[in-house]
Chain A
Amino acid sequence: MEKMVVAAGFGDILDKIKAGERLGFADGVRLYRSNEILALGYLANLVRERLNGDKAYFIYNQHVNYSNVCTNLCKFCAFGKEKGSPLAYEMSVAEVRAKIRERLAEPISEAHVVGGIHPDLPYQYYLDMLKGIKEERPEIHIQAFTCVEIAHLAELAGKSLADTLKDLVAAGLGSIPGGGAEVFSPRIREKTCEKKLSGQGWLEVAKTAHRLGLKSNATMLYGHIETIEERVEHLEALRAAQDESGGFLTFIPLAFHPKNTEMETIAKTSGLEDLKNIAVARCFLDNFPHVKAYWVMIGPKLAQVALSFGADDVDGTVKEERITSMAGGESGGVMADSELIRLIRDAGRTPVLRDTLFNELKVY
């Protein structure tokens, strides 16, 4: 098979990857520009199997999108609504607690809590929400608040990022999800989400969290107006941050879903584009332990195929996810763990139920 990779023009990158050498900016650009998806898959799979063998991870989690009220109103988002919009909602702490309580019978190990940048919910609300979740389900790991929300909370609290994070941890925060990274390029942020925390700001929150011992994830929203170079710059920034603070667990490429956004005229991402973003990231981010094929975004079929193209995680039995579904995601919000296990096994991988921090709960 290596002959085919060489024939596709990637002999040099193959050598680098086999030698454990880091890819450069130009390598990343070349990989993204290529349609030789099998060769890309082969390269990514080398890294994937070196780091994770045949394992494919999934988690039993519960999503809580506590509010869609948001002052940022990013153009690529179908979820955020202005306060007062008929589609706006916010959950009280009691409602969030009720959601957790509803599902106590299920073996959920993670509450995944993300919302908008709300103009007037007080700092205490967020602390109370974390505490409330922990009171309902003390053993649950709370992965909550993207770096963008955390920066907002620090402003609300009038505290430093580190002190804010310490408050949140004391209230129950376990780790930080990877959202809000979008594409770091200032050009992209100016055009699509000018009010959002900057790329530098996002990285600063992540690194601060890592220094406090928190783990976090990272994402990239692809398939809108970003250039290939901007994608590689984004990956480079993440790789450099990881060298510095080492707290990233998983990189999650997020496919842009245009429906109901201000960028609706852009076509949905193709299967080729989705696989390419997984494969190139896996080749490039040599210091990230995991790359996720988030099935809610790209569909279960492609997520399964992605297990041969660099991905080692498919997220989990997501329920009540609203961010992708409002943008026309067609995967529905629910998949039984038995179906995830079947898809993984059918792809020749070993299904591993994990917790948020990749402790293995059960190997199937």
Chain B
Amino acid sequence: MADLHKLAAIGDKVLAGERISADEALALAMDGDLLRLGFMADAIRRRRHPEPVVTYVIDRNINYTDICISACKFCAFFKSPEDPAGSVLSRAELGEKITETLALGGTQILLQGGLHPDLPLSFYEEMLSFIKGYGIHVHGFSPPEICHFAALSGLDLGEVLLRLQKAGLDSIPGGGAEILCDRVRRETAPRKCSTDEWLAVMAEAHHLGMRTTATMMFGHIESIPERIEHLARLRDLQDETGGFTAFIPWPFQPDNTVLAGLAKTTALQYLRMLALSRIFLDNFDNIQASWVTQGPKIAQLSLFFGANDFGSTMIEENVVAAAGVGFRLSEGEIRGLVEDAGFVPRQRRMNYSLV
């Protein structure tokens, strides 16, 4: 039975602008009903963003390869190296995708791929130089990729990041975080970088002056305390570096994955988790809604549960689509949903400056 007195006391703390502890977050996660969490998250969102603006970015998810040695159980996108269906994007295809993105008013490329077994670091440097030739922001290579590049090249993380930065890397997406708890990582993605490594990449990138985002993919084998642990690790690093621009939680999409038997996280639990993230991550400026997994109706409601950003228009998206989720929204539709909810839609860049 929920301890309403305790929940109310946590609510008062949140409204007073105080930080809540992991224990308090756990109490909210276990017993906080949807409306209670919504009220708290919405109050924080309004305090941080008093202007009624909801931002979005126009970009394209370009996956330079789907060949991956990681074989994560929650992934429906990758091809193993021996699978003849796997491929690496050609320069011509890459160029065409960038040109299309620019024509649609896009400001950045989200560049991510599988952990390819043998492409050298120079491949990635050359790819970055090629993309930068188009004068577009490159938001690329999640921490597992950076760790993989370091392992293959024998360089340390700092050197890899510096070389990529010199070649044109502007910022780093927060993918591959999944759940930042090694028990969960061992069971679902044993070949992927550890929690400490993921955080080390982000810390190093922040030191080099690169901004990054952070994500969480929840609703598979993790426990509720493990979700809180994830948030706590992010909050701690953000206290140190302040380099995260945004947090983006989304629920695991089981179709076509090894974990396909798991029940899908419901919309209500998504909204609760989103709100809890907004409440707990008091040092993150921005929280993104995940329309690609939730669809337009729930994504719009996210704006009342802590989200102040609609994420990307995703001119192209392959990873979630591979897991059987087919939501697509145009820039016009995103703007319409935002306006209908009483906010002003504004296009932004990676660093949240307005276009």
Contacts and interface: CB of A to CB of B under 8 A. Distances in A.
Contact of A38 (B38, B341, B342): B38
B298 interface: yes
A271 B34 contact: no
Among A1, A38, A347, the one with the most B-chain Cβ atoms within 10 Å of its Cβ is A38
A4 B269 CA distance: 22
A308 B33 contact: yes
Interface stretch (B122-130, B141-149, B289-297): B289-297
A41 interface: yes
Interface string B21-40: 00000000000011110110
B337 interface: yes
B35 A302 contact: no
A4 to B, nearest CB: 4
A343 interface: yes
Nearest to B39: A4
A270 B268 contact: no
Interface in B8-54: 11, 15, 33-36, 38-39, 42-43
Contacts of A272: 300-301, 304, 340-341
B50 to A, nearest CB: 14
Contacts of A313: none
Interface in A289-327: 298-302, 304-305, 307-308
Given A1-B39, A38-B35, A271 B301 contact: yes
Given A4-B39, A38-B35, A272-B341, A346 B269 contact: yes
B8 to A, nearest CB: 8
Q: Is the interface of B mostly helix, strand, loop or mixed?
A: helix
A274 interface: yes
A301 B296 contact: no
Nearest to A3: B15
A42 B15 CA distance: 18
Contact of B36 (A1, A37, A271, A305): A1
Contact of B43 (A4, A35, A299): A4
A273 interface: yes
A203 interface: no
A305 B298 contact: yes
Nearest to A342: B263
Nearest to B333: A267
A313 B342 CA distance: 28
A275 B301 contact: yes
Nearest to B31: A348
Interface in B301-319: 301, 304
Nearest to B300: A271
B353 interface: no
A302 B43 contact: no
A84 B38 CA distance: 52
Given A270-B297, A299-B297, A301-B297, A38 B268 contact: no
A37 to B, nearest CB: 5
B271 interface: yes
A305 to B, nearest CB: 5
B216 to A, nearest CB: 19
A35 B36 CA distance: 17
A29 B297 CA distance: 23
A41 B36 CA distance: 11
Given A37-B304, A274-B297, A302-B297, A347 B35 contact: no
A59 to B, nearest CB: 20
A347 B268 contact: yes
Contacts of A271: 296-301
B266 to A, nearest CB: 5
Given A35-B341, A270-B341, A275-B301, A45 B35 contact: yes
A348 B300 contact: no
B267 interface: yes
Interface string A223-255: 000000000000000000000000000000000
Nearest to A268: B296
B225 interface: no
B242 interface: no
B81 interface: no
B158 interface: no
Contacts of A347: 34, 266, 268
Contacts of B295: 299, 301
Interface in B258-301: 263, 266-269, 271, 294-301
B336 interface: yes
Contact of A302 (B36, B39, B298): B298
A270 B337 contact: yes
Contacts of B11: 1
Contacts of B297: 270-271, 274, 298-299, 301-302
Given A38-B38, A301-B295, A308-B35, A270 B300 contact: yes
Given A299-B297, A301-B294, A308 B268 contact: yes
A347 B294 CA distance: 16
B340 A273 contact: yes
B35 A42 contact: yes
A41 B35 contact: yes
B155 to A, nearest CB: 45
Contact of B34 (A299, A308, A342): A308
Contacts of B15: 3
Given A270-B296, A305-B34, 9 more contacts: A270-B300, A271-B296, A273-B340, A274-B297, A305-B268, A305-B298, A346-B266, A346-B269, A347-B268
Shortest 8 CB-CB contacts between residues of A and residues of B: A271-B297, A301-B267, A35-B342, A4-B39, A308-B34, A270-B340, A271-B300, A271-B301
21 contacts: A1-B36, A3-B15, A37-B304, A38-B38, A42-B35, A270-B296, A270-B341, A271-B300, A272-B340, A274-B297, A301-B267, A301-B297, A302-B297, A302-B301, A304-B267, A305-B301, A307-B268, A342-B263, A347-B266, A348-B33, A348-B34
Interface of A: 1, 3-4, 35, 37-38, 41-42, 45, 267, 270-275, 298-302, 304-305, 307-308, 342-343, 346-348
